[in-house]
Amino acid sequence: MLHKYNNSLKILSLFVVSCGFLSCGKGENSEQRIREVLNSDTVLIQKDSSRVWYVNKTFQDGMFSFCRNKKCGFIDTQGREVIAPQYDEVKDFSDGLAWVEQGGQVGFIDKTGKMIIPFSDKYEYGYAFHNGLISFKSDGKSGFMDKTGQIAFILPQGISADHNFKDGLVEIRENGKYGLMDTQGNIVVPAQYDLIADNFSDGLLRVQRDDLWGYIDKTGKEIIPPQYRFADNFEYGRARVEHTKYIDKTGKELPVNHQIEILSDMPLKSFRKYRGRPKHDLWGFEDLNGKEVIPARYIDVEGFSDGLAAVLPDNSTVRIALGDIIKDGTGFGYIDKTGNMVIAPQFSKAEPFNNGLARVSKHGREFFIDKQGKTVIRFFELPDFNRLYTPDERRRAEWLNDCANIEVGQTYEKDGFSFKVESVAMEKAQAIVKESKTKYQAPTPCMDIKEIVGVWNIND
């Protein structure tokens, strides 16, 4: 439901009515005023919705990248603007450094914004540091650079490497075969395999040769020689092979009824319960032995992260693709590993927790919540008043006339939507309105300012 008309909103409504939104201050002054009115939560304000985008979806290395007015910067998990938008392009923080581009040159900054590796157009870098190294190409050569900007090693002629180190090793390729190299540039596993899995799991890595899979350790030793047509990653000392069998880390086949000891910190896996057409299939969670822990009662689920999982209960009425919550009190919520709903269903979209925060959507607005469900960072768009909303001048004149005729206290009806007007900024023929029914999207640009002043209370 929409927010009741509180004192903070009244303050801004008087501010807008008395002098018009843009006439009381432009640029930073207007932004500062909005921040003061909305000071109950951290607000990340977009200055121009037509030219604003977000570089990533979650916090990486405790930082979130965003762009405003064609320049990019970073905020921290408290929503503080740590590095002001000043770069043409940025990439996520990793290993404490972030790739930034300015005027066609690339450099790296730390979390205070200090330039660690100066801008240069000499190198073509990979995306991020991993295990203290980043890949580069320069003058026809390729290799890896350390976090001081010094070249760690150059790759031998004829050998190419993946961009990222994982577990202290990087995948190399030579003559169509794959191997591994360490952070010193030493070849640990000669290029002899047809395929190599992305990551070590439980200390072992899947490798394929002649269409058969086996496992090697981090020294390159073949612990289980390639012999299986199908093989999964090891997990808690066992791996599934040939679809129906399980083996231990010596390659010994385990009994069909083999069970592992389930500990409290072990992950839960989602499972699907088919209900047949036209009903939704339902999802639940089971432990690594296949025992049902949380019954299948959700239309959709995300995996557990930070101890919580986003779930869409069976009674929800949500158009996920459009971001609409059709029935109040439904939508995505978050459960713990016992199945207890710890954040009530209310979101049209909900992503896994990362760094203690999750990105969610409600009534068309995106924001971050903490693990108690409290809004931590909100996003508000400042409309571009100079941009035509439609190239059709006749239609534009119609909605401008509609806005200009709105009066405070009037109930405004349009296209099946009903709104009660709280205040009007006449200078730009824009209206701040409070919705009197349960629909949340207005079919007219008169609604632009309501996104700024927070008529929508995303906590309700």
pTM of the model: 0.70
pLDDT at 117 over 80: yes
Q: What is the pLDDT of residue 37?
A: 40
Q: How confident is the model at residue 420 (pLDDT cuts 50, 70, 90)?
A: low
Selection from 136, 132, 135 nearest residue 123 by Cα? 136
β-strands 42-46, 375-381: how paired? parallel
**Token pair for residue 207?**
């490798």
pLDDT higher than 70, residue 89: yes
- Write the single-letter amino acid at 293: V
Count CB atoms within 10 A of the CB of residue 52: 19
Q: What is the mean pLDDT of the chain?
A: 75
The pLDDT value recorded for residue 315 is: 77
Q: What is the reported pLDDT for 281?
A: 86
Length of the chain in residues, anyone? 460
Please, which pLDDT band fits residue 324 given cuts at 50, 70 and 90? low
pLDDT at 227: 97
Angle at 188 between CA 185 and CA 190, to 5 degrees: 105
* Cis peptide upstream of residue 352 (ω within 30 degrees of 0): no
Question: What integer pLDDT is reported at residue 100 of this predicted model?
Answer: 96
52 pLDDT above the threshold of 60: no
